[in-house]
Structure 1
Amino acid sequence: MNHPSGCASAVLTIDLGALADNWRTLAARVAPAECGAVVKANAYGLGVEQVAPALWAAGARTFFVALMEEGLILRDVLPEADIYVLGGLLLGTAEAFPGPRLRPVLSSPAEIEDWARLCAARGVDLPAAIHVDTGMNRLGLTLEEAFALAQRGAGFTPSLIGTHLACADTPGHPFTALQRERFARVAAAFAGIPASLANSAGCLGGRELHFDLTRPGIALYGGVAVAGTPPLKPVVRLEVPVIQVRNGLPGDSVGYGAAQTLKRESRIAILSFGYADGFFRAYGATDAHAGADAIIAGRRCPLVGRVSMDLTAVDVTDLPEGAVKRGDMAVILGDGISVDELAAHGGTIGYEVLTSLGARYRRVYSGG
């Protein structure tokens, strides 16, 4: 069944022009290092089929995804891009990699052996990255394994040597300098192979972190990458409709669990969205703590009561009588409400806000 494009109640606008500007800002900052782009998790929830071409047009040529499935989608969108799969090789998947532009990031001796066997079987030196653990203790070769590999060879020529920073979002954290020192020794052992250390936070750090190729993610999408450092341009705007305005009396409670009690005669706007749309229950308000804000009629208004699956209540008492009515739109992200401000109300981070944005929103792309 076909549905009219306007039937989705809430609108998520993604500013591809701001996204491209953010990439260009980072690319200028890290030059002469190459600036790549991380587009995993469907471009942080914003739509890889739209985001990736905008980044390509801005000048990005190397992209990073988490899974091979994501890489295959991106390869169809950008067939000339170099695409690295950060999750590496799942068992038995080496032969499924279709060609030299889709490259696994190999994080264990077993994965390296699998890739070397594939190269030998095909008689081709297929490109792949080597991931070295410099202290994060997630994925990656140990330092000892990396130095041994550099001595004996991998059975193919790596196209990239990389690691991941754990604490670069905290300015001056000593662990960043330690990781940088460890990685510099590894990069020297793999002389002639491009090296990649910097994530978004690393891009905004000193030049000693940039090496040959950087991998910005959250900074591209308008999120805070380094604590205390303002983000680049905002990329997302979320507007949701008011479906009812109702009155409440002192002593009335709002929402599930009677978590918040009105202290005055109030007007409450009910918005058509909730935690099924990625607007977390933790954003709600109780008698013990305030919740997030929405902007209605140009003014910030506080949430009242718990967020439910499909509905959220906002206190609009302080707006002039008649200033808000059914069909008006409330701004949830935008007009000064950032993904990181919203995240703070839920005890989380901007990454989770972006990647949780709901499938029920009507997505509009602008500035492309």
Structure 2
Amino acid sequence: MNDAVNRTAGNTVTRWPVSDAAAGAILTVDLVAIRENYRRLKAKLAGVRCAGVLKANGYGLGAAQVAEALASEGCDIFFVALLAEGIDLRRAVGAGPEIYVLNGLPPGSEPEAVAARLCAVINSAGQLKAWREAARGAGRALPAAIQADSGMSRLGMAPAEVAALAGDAGAFDGIDVRYVMSHLACADEPRHPANEQQRLAFERLRAMLPRAPASLANSSGIFLGSSYHYDLARPGAALYGINPTPGEPNPMLPVVRLQAKVAQTRSVEKGAGIGYGHTYHAQGPLSLATISFGYADGWLRRSASAAWFDGVRLPFLGRVSMDSIILDISALPPGRLHEGDLVELLGPSQSVDDAAGHAGTIGYEILASLGSRFHRRYVNE
């Protein structure tokens, strides 16, 4: 296991505590599992190219480390959400991979994208014009993916914009159109009619755009079948162990384990108020443990959940605090849990999707919320 670092231009810059002794919690990221998840998705795609989505710092797990793991499996196309993410990733991975900026480039930022050799995802006629002018200034064609809105109403050119561009012979001058793409809104619901409606809309829209390889499938979209695969799939969540087929067994390996340290143990009598607001009162004598972990570390305050130790469930009591959570450890033998011991929050006893269910959210939010105060370990072997 390695301490987490960010490698930039040959330098090693420490981003998290060097020693687990300095941190209140430990986050272990299994890069071997990420590589296996990528292989499983590639097998499902049966020869179609597979990118890796690394937005939000690799879903909170470390974009540079995840990119290195995916590159070892032959992945050479990455997607991020923001220009700043793309610049950081380019510094980490070097000149080789293609890096696409999903949200498009903010007005005036095109020179930065050109300097970092990033590929724009063009979502509007205005962005297309700005990228065309950037190409003129650079004296060369600039790479891009053209995104059309096939029915999600979030990002991408509206059908009317696409139709207008179809009649403009010079619209794509100076643009190296590498992909035409769109994004599925309901892929995690395989029987939702919007999936087929979007696929058909995408067919109509791409027929009006420059001939180029096509991309539609996200993680769940890969499991909708080959008609959604086209030439490039763009999985994100599935790489990180989130179930792309909700309601069915997870075809992906778990990737993260999150453990928090016990800061203190105590015994309380019946009637004792517990935590902020005294939202819970002891119904009888209880043994408690306070762990060094809270909503500042990304554990949602509304989450009614538990930790585990020796396979025993230890329920949360009272409210989640900024830096601490109180556990009921009465089910453990007296004296079994000590200060400095680690309890498990994510891992074999509770998956990311389980934790999301307790919090009334999705696994994406659980991972993306994880904070920076952890000691991070990366399993490479």
Bucket of the pairwise TM-score, normalised by the shorter protein: over 0.9
The unaligned stretches of length 5 or more in structure 2 are: 1-15
User: How far off is 1:151 after superposition?
Assistant: 4.2
Q: Find the aligned partners of 1:170 and 1:150 in 2 and give their Cα distance.
A: 33
Normalising by structure 2, we get a TM-score of 0.90
User: How far off is 1:3 after superposition?
Assistant: 7.3
Deviations 1:89-125 (A, max 9, x none): 2011122223595101010111101111222333322
- 2:10 alignment counterpart: none
- 2:287 alignment counterpart: 267
Q: How many residues align?
A: 360
Query: Which of 56, 70, 80 pairs up with 2:96?
Result: 80
* One-letter code aligned to 1:70: E
Contact 2:162 2:209 in 1 (8 A): no
User: How far off is 1:300 after superposition?
Assistant: 1.4
Moved more, 255-264 or 211-220: 255-264
Q: Find the aligned partners of 1:212 and 1:80 in 2 and give their Cα distance.
A: 20
Corresponding position: 1:12 with 2:32: no
Question: What is the DSSP-based 3-state SS (H/G/I as helix, E as strand, rest coil) of the residue aligned with 1:303?
Answer: strand
Q: Find the aligned partners of 2:254 and 2:229 in 1 and give their Cα distance.
A: 24
| Structure 1 moving runs of 4+ over 4 Å | none
- 1:185 alignment counterpart: 204
Moved more, 94-103 or 336-345: 94-103
* One-letter code aligned to 1:329: L
Corresponding position: 1:137 with 2:157: no
* One-letter code aligned to 1:360: R
Contact 1:82 1:103 in 2 (8 A): yes
* One-letter code aligned to 1:170: E
Q: Find the aligned partners of 2:44 and 2:167 in 1 and give their Cα distance.
A: 34
Instruction: Summarize the alignment of residues 98-117 of structure 1 with structure 2, pairs less than 5 Å apart.
Output: 98=114, 101-117=117-133
Moved more, 206-215 or 187-196: 187-196
Instruction: Summarize the alignment of residues 242-253 of structure 1 with structure 2, pairs less than 5 Å apart.
Output: 242-253=262-273
User: How far off is 1:233 after superposition?
Assistant: 0.7
* One-letter code aligned to 2:29: I
User: How far off is 1:296 after superposition?
Assistant: 1.3
- 2:11 alignment counterpart: none
Query: Which of 146, 159, 181 pairs up with 2:178?
Result: 159
* One-letter code aligned to 1:222: G
- 2:140 alignment counterpart: 124
Moved more, 115-124 or 238-247: 115-124
User: How far off is 1:25 after superposition?
Assistant: 0.5
- 1:61 alignment counterpart: 76
Corresponding position: 1:356 with 2:374: no
Question: What is the DSSP-based 3-state SS (H/G/I as helix, E as strand, rest coil) of the residue aligned with 2:190?
Answer: coil
The answer to which structure has the higher strand fraction is 2
Q: 1:316 to 1:146 in 2, by over 3 A?
A: same
User: How far off is 1:328 after superposition?
Assistant: 1.4
Q: Find the aligned partners of 1:332 and 1:46 in 2 and give their Cα distance.
A: 16
Contact 2:308 2:349 in 1 (8 A): no
Corresponding position: 1:23 with 2:38: yes
- 1:220 alignment counterpart: 239
Percentage of pairs with the same residue: 44
Question: What is the DSSP-based 3-state SS (H/G/I as helix, E as strand, rest coil) of the residue aligned with 1:295?
Answer: strand
- 1:287 alignment counterpart: none
Deviations 1:47-92 (A, max 9, x none): 1121110011012111000111111111122220011001112011
Q: How large is the Cα RMSD of the aligned pairs? A: 1.7
Moved more, 356-365 or 340-349: 340-349
* One-letter code aligned to 2:172: A
Query: Which of 274, 277, 302 pairs up with 1:282?
Result: 302
Q: Find the aligned partners of 2:254 and 2:67 in 1 and give their Cα distance.
A: 17
Contact 1:281 1:307 in 2 (8 A): yes
User: How far off is 1:325 after superposition?
Assistant: 1.8
Instruction: Summarize the alignment of residues 335-346 of structure 1 with structure 2, pairs less than 5 Å apart.
Output: 335-346=348-359
- 2:5 alignment counterpart: none
Normalising by structure 1, we get a TM-score of 0.93
Q: Find the aligned partners of 1:243 and 1:88 in 2 and give their Cα distance.
A: 45
